[in-house]
Chain A
Amino acid sequence: DVQMTQSPYNLAASPGESVSINCKASKSISKYLAWYQQKPGKANKLLIYDGSTLQSGIPSRFSGSGSGTDFTLTIRSLEPEDFGLYYCQQHNEYPFTFGSGTKLEIK
């Protein structure tokens, strides 16, 4: 199985700042990486897929980059609603596997 290593585990930032979350695959997954947001009481939300394609309805302050084994989710000009848990997931091969998550907290 492809192991996904996500960093950092925790991240604290203030509204208006920019942050980056990293995800590293144990082998090449080409461009096939997705990012999700998880918040209590809300359905998980797809943000980015195919490494850098913004899901419909997601604000342009979210962006994804990378290919092969190294990927990054960047959130520019943080809004209060952006705080929560973020997961990466490879969708290149079965079984699909997720990173361990990054908790983005308000500083």
Chain B
Amino acid sequence: EVQLQQSGPEVGRPGSSVKISCKASGYTFTDYVMNWVKQSPGQGLEWIGWIDPEYGSTDYAEKFKKKATLTADTSSNTAYIQLSSLTSEDTATYFCARGGGVMDAWGQGASVTVSS
């Protein structure tokens, strides 16, 4: 069974950074790219970008190019998203989702709260 297990809730101060993990199991990690998707409170879904774990190549939505950094560790089958220079606009739930344009498995989401 494909599973994407995300790390727990994070609280970050304005201006700081947070890093969320997404541990994959049940499939060959390097066979699929991993997407990251943002959901602000009470809002819809925004695609942040994806990473190809096999090559480390990434693509980002323009809006997130200076905000998010995607990495992957093939030794632990884990994908990461780091969010930098946090502001209140970054308070949201962040999902990892397997696949290219078609996201066929999702993590449970990790909440990030930006608060001083």
Query: Which A residues are closer than 8 A to B by beta carbons?
Result: 32, 34, 36, 42-46, 49-50, 55, 87, 89, 91-92, 94-101
Chain B residues with CB below 8 A from A96, complex form: 35, 47, 101
C-alpha spacing A94/B64, complex, angstroms: 13
> Chain B contact residues (Cβ within 8 angstroms of A): what range?
20 to 34
- B5-48 vs A, CB cutoff 8 Å, 1 = contact: the mask equals 00000000000000000000000000000010000000011110
Question: With A44-B95, A44-B97 known to touch, is A99 a contact of B44 (CB < 8 Å)?
Answer: yes
Most buried by A among B95, B100, B101, B104: B101
Partner pick for A36 among B4, B103, B108, CB 8 A cutoff: B103
Chain A residues with CB below 8 A from B101, complex form: 32, 34, 91-92, 96
CB pair A91 B45 closer than 8 Å: no
Partner pick for A91 among B4, B62, B95, B100, CB 8 A cutoff: B100
Q: Residue of B at shortest CB range from A90?
A: B101
Chain A residues with CB below 8 A from B103, complex form: 34, 36, 44, 46, 89
Q: How many A-B residue pairs have CB under 8 A?
A: 50
Instruction: Looking at the assembled complex, report how far the CB atom of B98 sits from the nearest CB atom of chain A, in whole angstroms.
Output: 10
Chain B residues with CB below 8 A from A34, complex form: 101-103
C-alpha spacing A98/B27, complex, angstroms: 26
Q: Residue of A at shortest CB range from B4?
A: A43
Partner pick for B61 among A32, A92, A95, CB 8 A cutoff: A95
